[in-house]
Structure 1
């Protein structure tokens, strides 16, 4: 599976790309869904923050992965991309189009908005995978139009529960590397041996999705993982906490709110609100 490394590409030499080339120190990428969530994560010193397409879509009352949130994604990217407090990676679903030229044009808009990287997936809403040639063509078009943009090419071979996802994942990762991807993302890959094998054969950094039942961050670092994304986990935990608190109060259980952010802290978040222009 190895091919000449992309380490010398323009994107790999950017500050965001460099965060993927620190052996033994993977980039932990928390994912935000609006300005406030990104700002509170930035306050904790995370050097880079991603967006979660599920959190963004759900917040807007729209389905995830159905190409329904193009404008919402671009609007959020413009708001977050120029704060200067962190590097931003945007979850772009499948690029919101099957036309590589249209996807590349959107990538240019994101780069102009200050976005450092994107996540581009090959999964489709019906549970199938896009043709590998189509996804590779999107990657190539993006890299030609916005060479400094870090393209994290995601395959959903494991997510869609194929009977034997390994051969299909390998085939797709091979093609995406050749197409110019700066990194690859394999969500739902949690087996340590399989992760270690990929880290030893890929020519670009491997990104995995953190699983509460999978390897810990130090264990993933030891396996050679370059980036660990939290995906929609923070958004889903936040929703669950809100529901649990409301139900506890309804049942007569005291709720101190000791862990809640204060009004002043929330009000202060607008100071780095960026721009949508």
Structure 2
């Protein structure tokens, strides 16, 4: 297996004209390993899946412990990892910076930080860890009314503060996307929408990163429910089902001593 790619490689994945970084989002070791095995050089995490797995609300700053635990599990793997850290789990820039430092030590290459709809200082992470790729997210389209002036104001502030990329989930209009790309000096990240432009179309518009967010996790939940419904109805479940051996093959090589506590 080759050595873990460097952080500069992760930044480089955002600067390939006509070839945006397609970033699939995992929620545990097996999902990340399976995606990496399909050739994806970088994997992201999804805050919704982390929260849902623990029965906690998403976007409420309640999953700091679970997010860091997942990052610790995935950060030493040979693929590049970007962590969805909501808003940094704090309104205190020093605490956001502390999260960034912890992730960096774990081997994380990038962090995604959102601003919700209120003013916030998210770029403390970049100041604290200059090598960490900071993707600054604004929710003006995702949770707001898509006000263009407000969106540009926020993105300009992030660029000036040193963000490596900016993320505008919910934006799907081709004209607005192209105009925003022309305005930006850093890579634009958009959230893939099944009803929106394709990855190829987004590439043509100048988008440099396309995230899948919680889509794969939600599809996995849907597939599980559909499968049990098919079984209950006497039908054979459709779709792809990895074998037991294939899932076991995703395990990390771990040496476990069963006699560590024995007296023999």
TM-score (norm 1): 0.87
Distance 2:89 2:77 in 1: 25
Sort the Cα spacing of 1:180 and 1:258 in 2 relative to 1 into closer, same or farther, 3 A.
Answer: closer
Bigger-Rg structure (1/2): 2
Report whether the alignment pairs 1:266 with 2:247: yes
Runs of 4+ in structure 1 displaced over 6 angstroms? Answer: none
Name the SS of the counterpart of 1:79 in structure 2. helix
Match of 2:141 in 1: 158
1:114: how far off?
0.2
TM-score (norm 2): 0.91
1:142: how far off?
1.4
1:251: how far off?
1.4
Sort the Cα spacing of 1:13 and 1:82 in 2 relative to 1 into closer, same or farther, 3 A.
Answer: closer
Distance 1:211 1:28 in 2: 13
Count of residue pairs brought into register by the alignment: 249
Sort the Cα spacing of 1:230 and 1:272 in 2 relative to 1 into closer, same or farther, 3 A.
Answer: farther
Match of 1:172 in 2: 154
1:161: how far off?
3.3
Distance 1:213 1:56 in 2: 25
Distance 1:245 1:166 in 2: 43
Distance 2:61 2:76 in 1: 25
Give CA-to-partner distance per residue, 1:129-151, whole Å, 9 cap, x none. Answer: 121xx23xx30x21121000000
Is there any run of 5+ residues in structure 1 with no aligned partner, and where?
1-11, 124-128
Is there any run of 5+ residues in structure 2 with no aligned partner, and where?
1-5, 255-264
Q: How does 1:111-260 map to 2 (within 5 A)?
A: 111-123=104-116, 129-131=117-119, 134-135=120-121, 138-139=122-123, 141-162=124-145, 164-255=146-237, 259-260=240-241
Match of 2:96 in 1: 103
Q: Highest relative contact order (Cα 8 Å, sep 6+), 1 or 2? A: 1
